[in-house]
A and B are shown apart, each in its own frame.
Chain A
């Protein structure tokens, strides 16, 4: 902090400095916690990558296609085969699996945090009011800003990128969940109360099932935002397609950039379609589409 007196005509507040100081204090104090977080995230990422990259790519493509067929259609399975085969043929398979691991772990954690937060916000107006500016802040802050403190706390690697991704991708998860729960027909909730159901039971049996399709739409947004972060995550050391884009940029090799970009698009379409198909398979979505 500066020692000079504050001059109103030439205002100078060392906001950045203060935050940085606070951050130093934070990292030192909570080093053990940070270590645990790092181990867990790294472990999740490594584990998933291990699973995805171990089998030959043709086997994986078959599995992806089978999943697509089960939750969607045979047409989508055909697209899956074509798309992932293209990725492999551009020699981006390993990078794609690294990116997929990063996105899946980050999106899963973001969901695990954001859905309960959204439920809480839906139940309590005070929580909702408190969260709104925080979420606005998280979403409007340039995503790159998150890299700096996380880089400080965790050093180069996949973890800082992952944490930045989680922070950046979380807001729609919270927002959609809150909205989804608030949108549930109040009369149906009242029916639960009128027959003597407890609040937790109403949440489990009425609110969550009825809100599920909208919550899934939120999760889809979380995944898409996570994918959009892969390039930034690469800048602090995450491997994968993002890294290819970054190196393409640095060495001005258009081909590398385009190929990596294409692969990201394939992943994006695949994940989007799978998640929206899952949303359509939510019991309430299926039951309300039925006709006599």
Chain B
């Protein structure tokens, strides 16, 4: 079962909304419909959010992200289409039942925190439980647990006005966690925070999600954030979802110019992995074949070295042309004596940022290995440089520059 399912969702504001939906379904463009006095905010959105995934919805301001997420818990009623939360059609049930779904199944974290200023941190974190009718003692205990989880233990008796933005949002997060619902909607939850705090919060969310297995629908207009958090990313434009895919898919095969432009901004070194830029190994020789076979292949491809792989494709090492020639002259029947370890290997999931230093030092292309140590491809230095070039072209913003300068060795985030 999917955690959240959107089926042909439309939300049109303004006049003649049903008419607008009909026109849009018949293929009218957004502009044509706007001319009739209606404002289509979300157009024919369909997707499934799987339990336990972070589903990111990304798009520029005004693309309909907030409208979309507010339909997922019924804060806004769609003009057409249906929403299922844990299989329940939330617009087919009555008000009281909808409130129960919101209490028990689907929480929310807000851009500007939306805390109750007249209640303490503990009471805020316990708010959802208060609504659920949990007795005071128990709800304060559970709120304290949630606060501990987000690193705010000991702040229970303060008021929101006494907290920094990051701490306020942690309270917002604790409130949603304490509610105990498995699904969390987060509308630009970190957008109001400054970059460093924001990074911290993203890490915390990833960590919490891994520990608690919550399903998260996360809205952002920041591609880097989308890439860091999203198991899958939906890109919205002018009310339509133009692409849904993993971060890599979105980066590598942008569905259209809009996505491509959006993507041009991202710091690719922290998103693309070795596997996504590697090429097939030009020359690999079998560890069981003899030196003659190896020499033949190397002459054919005009290579001065080759990777030696076993039958199961695990990498054994490299052989150099002069050693192979010597072995042939000696009449050796195997490569055993001459296989060297003069190469550098990287894991297929390593980020590009991790590849630059090894690549600079290694005379051979980097060998890309999978979990079992099997050779799956190589990254020649030119390939890496080409990937670099496209990144430089995309002009990373100042924030990323600062990060590179300050902590060149730290590689993290990206696609998990």
Contact = CB atoms under 8 A, between A and B. Distances in A.
A288 B102 contact: no
Interface stretch (A158-166, A185-193, A216-224): A185-193
Contacts of B128: 195-196
A273 B131 CA distance: 37
A206 B185 CA distance: 21
A287 B117 contact: yes
Given A287-B159, A292-B162, A194 B108 contact: yes
B160 A198 contact: no
B91 interface: no
Interface in B73-116: 73, 75, 99-104, 107-108, 110-112, 114-116
Given A195-B107, A287-B159, A210 B99 contact: no
A206 B123 CA distance: 13
A284 interface: yes
A282 B99 CA distance: 30
A289 B132 CA distance: 30
A187 B111 contact: yes
Interface of B: 73, 75, 99-104, 107-108, 110-112, 114-119, 127-128, 131-132, 158-163, 175, 179, 185
Interface string A271-292: 0000000000011101111111
A5 B113 CA distance: 69
A197 interface: yes
B161 A288 contact: yes
22 contacts: A187-B111, A187-B114, A188-B116, A190-B108, A190-B110, A190-B114, A191-B114, A193-B75, A193-B102, A194-B75, A195-B102, A195-B128, A195-B179, A196-B99, A210-B116, A210-B117, A282-B118, A286-B118, A287-B161, A289-B161, A290-B158, A290-B159
A290 B179 CA distance: 27
A209 interface: yes
A196 B131 contact: yes
A163 to B, nearest CB: 36
B99 A197 contact: yes
Given A287-B160, A287-B161, A289-B161, A195 B117 contact: no
A188 B131 contact: no
Contacts, number: 81
Nearest to B73: A194
B118 A191 contact: no
A12 interface: no
Given A197-B131, A287-B161, A291-B162, A209 B118 contact: yes
Contacts of B103: 195-196
A290 B162 contact: yes
Contacts of A253: none
A210 B118 contact: yes
B100 A187 contact: no
Given A194-B75, A195-B108, A290-B161, 10 more contacts: A195-B175, A195-B179, A196-B131, A210-B118, A287-B117, A287-B118, A287-B160, A289-B161, A290-B159, A292-B158
B100 A284 contact: no
A227 B112 CA distance: 42
Nearest to B119: A287
Interface in A174-207: 185, 187-188, 190-198, 201, 205-206
B131 A288 contact: no
Central interface residue in B102, B132, B161, B179, by most chain A CB within 10 Å = B161
A282 B118 CA distance: 9
Given A187-B112, A191-B110, A193-B75, A283 B118 contact: yes
Contacts of B75: 190, 193-194
Contacts of B175: 195
A209 B162 CA distance: 19
A193 B95 CA distance: 11
Nearest to B112: A187
A170 to B, nearest CB: 27
B110 A288 contact: no
A284 B124 CA distance: 13
Nearest to B120: A287
A107 to B, nearest CB: 25
Contacts of B116: 188, 205-206, 209-210
A215 to B, nearest CB: 14
Central interface residue in B104, B116, B132, by most chain A CB within 10 Å = B116
Contacts of A190: 75, 108, 110, 114
A85 B110 CA distance: 55
Contacts of A194: 73, 75, 102, 107-108, 185
Contacts of A197: 99, 131
Interface string A47-59: 0000000000000
B397 to A, nearest CB: 28
A140 B381 CA distance: 83
A198 B103 CA distance: 11
B114 A196 contact: no
A196 B110 contact: no
Given A194-B73, A195-B131, A196-B132, A188 B114 contact: yes
A281 B163 CA distance: 21
A217 to B, nearest CB: 17
B189 to A, nearest CB: 12
A195 B127 contact: yes
Contact of B118 (A192, A196, A198, A284): A284
Interface string A139-167: 00000000000000000000000000000
Which 3 pairs across A and B sit closest by C-beta, in order of nearness?
Answer: A196-B103, A196-B102, A191-B114
